[in-house]
A and B are shown apart, each in its own frame.
Chain A
Amino acid sequence: MTSALEVRALSVSYGQKPAVFSVDVTCPVGKMMAIIGPNGAGKSTFLKAVLGIVPRLSGEVTVFGQPLAAARRRIAYVPQRASVDWDFPTRVVDVVMMGQFRRLGLLGLVRPSHRTRALDCLTRVGMADFAERQIGQLSGGQQQRVFLARALAQEADLYMLDEPFAGVDAATEKAIIDVLKSLRAEGRTVIAVHHDLSTVADYFDHVMLINLRKIADGPVASAFTAENLQATYGGRLAGAHIEQLQLPAA
């Protein structure tokens, strides 16, 4: 099987306002795919609907050839930072341990090996020194890294991230993209809602453009074109901006 994620005819609405309409998309295994589109285009909603966090109106989701429910253990989700109360009484290392839930199960005892694994994940994102700190004391970029470490602890095959680079400092952005690239080098698949058009070509090899409907998807070289961007962003993306992006010829 060649696709990590296959979505067919996915529609999501809030009440009677469509947010995502009839989206078909496929992400091949071992690729890094960006989901881009203007604000309110339904990018986050699409991600959440794929994962079953928000209910969908129609559509089918297949992960590594299986229905979503059967493949959950192969998926790791990194939500937006704002979705959590950072005043919650827990330490950084505890959050990463949550990622090991599958290994531990409901009643499993926490052994030193689990803790070591958690610290390894923290080291990978550069946060090992912060293990004992209360999460409310972290900066935005540090919080993002902790979320990523939690996802790493899940040892998944498909990583789905919601705006991982939003509002983080440059050092964190570099740390995160390095981790994501190393995941891809290991043969894992990464799908991320992305907000910064200028880094799409550098970071990702696949892209999906969405604005209520899917406008285009595929390898960056063929899908990330001026024409598709114009179709996605409509009149909002000035010609000059598109030129700045130095896109491949359509």
Chain B
Amino acid sequence: MGAEFVQLSLVPLLIGTLAAMACALPGNFLILRRQALIGDAISHVVLPGIVVAFLITGAVTTWPMLLGAAGAALVAVALIEAIKRLGKIEAGAAMGVVFTSMFAGGVLLLEQSDTSSVHLDVEHALYGNLESLIWLDASGWSSLFDPSALAYLPAELGRIAIVTLLVAALLLVFWRVLKIATFDEGFAATLGLPVGLISLGVVATAALAAVAAFDAVGSIIVIAMFICPPAAARLMTNRLERQIWISLGFAALSAILGYVLAGYGPLWLGLQDSVSAAGMIATVSGLILMLAALFGPCRARVGAGAGS
């Protein structure tokens, strides 16, 4: 595990792990608030977002794409909320209407625009290309302390690291109000807490994590990271604090195991190329959830759930 590991695998592993953890953190609250599928909605509208950004800027550089994705996420969330209130439609249907329409709009724009000049990699947007985030300028573990080599680290690493720290910081600062407002919204309102703003904040943080992660692992896989590690963690413990930590552990495990299996698994099986790392990460997180659902100590439904 020398120079080759540092050059080819270290950075993707780090990025994948950070992306998974950045999504798992808000995912814990999305699940408890029964808003798990907002991740589904956000992931699907990323495509039209980057198509619009491409149409406006004419290039496929990173920042316009990220801004386009973020913009689309915010538009989607706003539209979903508007439709829910105006039409008195339940959340799932509202989400379904908004994100499928936006996705169709994105596909239409894609076909209509002059894509012959620049290729907009749809597959990349959907399931990312983690394996390509290599650090060729590294020559071994010593490069971690070599500023000239560090300057050539893929930019995605810095971005996802910052976002992960930001999300973690937000969670820490607002921990108390998040817990109270998620457990009992009516009580929180009587304390004077701005429950609407808190709800928006959770979704906005999720959108931030989704956009940052989509850069590395594509949009569809982000849903897996929002849901599977926190859901598995929920089945393992009755304490919210522990649930958060366990979800981070499961997220990291999914990322590392998934990446390794995708990269080296086929070689072990005698095949030539690796398979999609992002897809494998999602699959592993699903396997962890399955194991938790079968054997987790707190998997059974104990109390009477609130009317869903």
A residues near B (Cβ < 8 Å) are: 48, 51-53, 69, 72-73, 75-77, 79, 82-91, 94-95, 98, 101-102, 104, 106-107, 134-138, 150
B residues near A (Cβ < 8 Å) are: 32, 173-174, 176-177, 179-180, 182-184, 186-187, 189-192, 234, 237-240, 242-243, 298, 301-307
Bound CA–CA A102/B176 (angstroms): 11
- Extra A-B contacts (4), CB below 8 Å, given A90-B179, A90-B240, A137-B302: A77-B190, A82-B304, A101-B176, A107-B176
Q: Which of A77, A84, A107 contacts B173 (CB 8 A)?
A: A107
Of the A-B pairs whose beta carbons lie under 8 Å apart in the complex, a sample of 17, sorted by A's number, is A72-B190, A73-B192, A76-B190, A77-B186, A85-B32, A87-B302, A88-B182, A89-B32, A90-B183, A91-B238, A98-B180, A98-B183, A101-B180, A101-B191, A104-B176, A107-B173, A134-B302
Q: Known interface pairs A83-B306, A85-B303, A89-B237. Does A72 touch B186 (Cβ–Cβ under 8 Å)?
A: no
Nearest neighbor of A75 in chain B, beta-carbon distance: B190
Residues of B within 8 A of A135 (CB): 303
B303 touching A90 by the CB < 8 A rule?
no
Q: Which of A72, A73, A75, A83 contacts B184 (CB 8 A)?
A: A83
B173 touching A89 by the CB < 8 A rule?
no
Q: Which of A69, A87, A136 contacts B192 (CB 8 A)?
A: A69
Nearest neighbor of B195 in chain A, beta-carbon distance: A53
Bound CA–CA A82/B306 (angstroms): 6
B238 touching A134 by the CB < 8 A rule?
yes
Least CB distance, A230 to chain B, in whole angstroms: 33
Nearest neighbor of A162 in chain B, beta-carbon distance: B186
B302 touching A136 by the CB < 8 A rule?
yes
Q: Known interface pairs A84-B306, A98-B180, A136-B302. Does A89 touch B239 (Cβ–Cβ under 8 Å)?
A: yes
Residues of A within 8 A of B183 (CB): 84-85, 88, 90, 95, 98
Bound CA–CA A106/B194 (angstroms): 13
Residues of B within 8 A of A91 (CB): 238-239
Residues of A within 8 A of B179 (CB): 90, 94, 98
Residues of A within 8 A of B190 (CB): 51-53, 72, 75-77
